Amino acid sequence: MPTTTEVEHLLRTAALRVTRPRVAVLTAVHDHPHADTDSLIGFVRDDLADVSKQAVYDVLRALTAAGLVRRIEPSGSVARYESRVADNHHHVVCRTCGAIADVDCAVGYTPCLTASDDHGFSIDEAEVVYWGLCPACSTTPSS
Ligand SMILES: [Zn+2]
Ligand SMILES: [Zn+2]
């Protein structure tokens, strides 16, 4: 968990002015990986009670554009944010409750990540989302 000083340093490194809402939002994203916007607004308000929803939206957009947070949007889910931006890791998503966990890049023989026909594109990334049931949901008997 980064300290306020570290968060301020991250903002400056990305050439963003340090403001209290930016520090609060970036800290919340670090503390709660894969949280959606509504949850983040709740966490930020624990810190800055009077921050508006719109301010949080605006800060998230600025942080995403600056590369300080990554926005992920599994199909059928609302956008989630995380601070792990340095690698192109993947996510496993629970079909039932929407829980998300990080999955490191596939290693070894990964045939489906090598395009069978690249159509002349120079490919540098494959976006993978693993879907399934989280441990909590897979042990709950379905009613
Ligand atoms: Zn689940
Ligand atoms: Zn992640």
Ligand nearest to the CA of 94: 1
Number of Cβ within 10 Å of residue 25's Cβ equals 30
pLDDT of 91 = 94
pTM of the model as a whole? 0.84
Proximal ligand: closest to the CA of 131: 1
CA distance 76 to 79: 10
CA 129 from centre of chain: 13
CA of 104 to the centre of ligand 2 (A): 9
Q: Which residues contact 118 (CB under 8 A, 6 or more apart)?
A: none
pLDDT of res. 65: 97
Q: Are strands 90-94 and 129-132 parallel, antiparallel or unpaired?
A: parallel
Ligand 1 centroid to residue 104 C-alpha, Å: 20
What the block records as the tokens of 33 is 């990986």
Ordered per-residue pLDDT tens for the chain, 143 residues: 789 999 999 999 999 999 999 999 999 999 999 999 999 999 999 989 999 999 999 999 999 999 999 999 988 889 999 999 988 789 999 999 999 999 988 777 676 777 888 899 988 878 889 999 999 999 876 56
Ligand 2 centroid to 143 CA: how many Å? 31
C-alpha 90 – ligand 2 centre gap (Å): 7
- Exposure string (b/e) for 121-134, b if CB count within 10 Å is 16 or more? eeeeeeebeeeebb
- Rounded (10°) angle between helices 4-13 and 20-31: 110
